[in-house]
Structure 1
């Protein structure tokens, strides 16, 4: 049996969506193995890449599947992939022990639509199961403290990389 430390990382994308004021879209997760308490259940849209999918295409797909958002323009991306390890007890539940964590390519997008476009209860027109039970716009500086602690270093880095996008 493979040691947990030797397992691969799951390839994913993450999306920081900024509204016109410079606030960030965050959603509160509806549950899952990573949902450990009410304070740290918020996150930005993120998810796994499909086989052969380009990261930016995956970011747009994941964003639509989780939020229904399509009205965006690309602002920036983090040059390298950012990784985090998930605690073994959670990883065994959420990914059946296949991965030790995630490596993520992060993008910053400007939301150019109106808030009524956002539909977390019927994302992608109802074609996908909801992942969030509520959402809000949050000042960028506040986002890392709302995320589950083992993901916080990645979120700190994403905020640092994209801070120049906020007026």
Structure 2
């Protein structure tokens, strides 16, 4: 078995999308039966800018187009999480030990009708707006500390 510490982190972009009331978009993943909700996020392609990846992932996962968001802030540093040992070697073809993520905070300027999770490659089976303070309790446990770091990074812009 590969030692997880020998594996690199997968480069990713994450999006905290907030509505006019300051609530955050969360989606319930299609690929799990857990009651886990998460914010949009995904891999950064080789040579792709993190902000471009964030906007692309947002569109791919939520149907939200760039003209319906405005950038508020970017987390000042990359944030990391490790996969639990039982998932290392099973997800992402066993190439990564976890993710290193660039997080962006966007204000959603559209309407709920501009959100469509029935995308060509759907990731979510349901979505809703949630109080940002509730996010760490909604995510899979191994990402809880990451979500707390995201909230700390964006605290000056929330609530």
TM-score (norm 1): 0.90
Once residues 162 and 45 of structure 1 are traced to their aligned partners in structure 2, the CA distance between those partners, rounded to angstroms, is 16
Once residues 59 and 109 of structure 2 are traced to their aligned partners in structure 1, the CA distance between those partners, rounded to angstroms, is 14
1:158 pairs, out of 128, 150, 155, with 150
Gaps of 5+ in 1: none
Once residues 91 and 116 of structure 1 are traced to their aligned partners in structure 2, the CA distance between those partners, rounded to angstroms, is 38
| Structure 2 counterpart of 1:9 | 9
For the 8 Å contact 1:22–1:165, the answer to whether it is kept is no
Gaps of 5+ in 2: none
Structure 1 ranges of 4+ moved more than 2 A: none
1:72 aligns with 2:69: yes
| Structure 2 counterpart of 1:109 | 106
1:55 pairs, out of 46, 50, 74, with 50
1:129 is displaced (CA, Å) by: 1.3
Once residues 97 and 85 of structure 2 are traced to their aligned partners in structure 1, the CA distance between those partners, rounded to angstroms, is 7
1:5 is displaced (CA, Å) by: 1.4
Task: Kindly report which structure 2 residues correspond to 1:82-121, keeping only aligned pairs within 5 A, or say none.
Answer: 82-121=79-118
Once residues 60 and 150 of structure 2 are traced to their aligned partners in structure 1, the CA distance between those partners, rounded to angstroms, is 22
What SS does the corresponding residue of 1:90 show, helix, strand or coil?
coil
1:2 is displaced (CA, Å) by: 4.4
What SS does the corresponding residue of 2:28 show, helix, strand or coil?
strand
Aligned residue pairs, count: 157
What SS does the corresponding residue of 1:87 show, helix, strand or coil?
coil
1:36 is displaced (CA, Å) by: 6.1
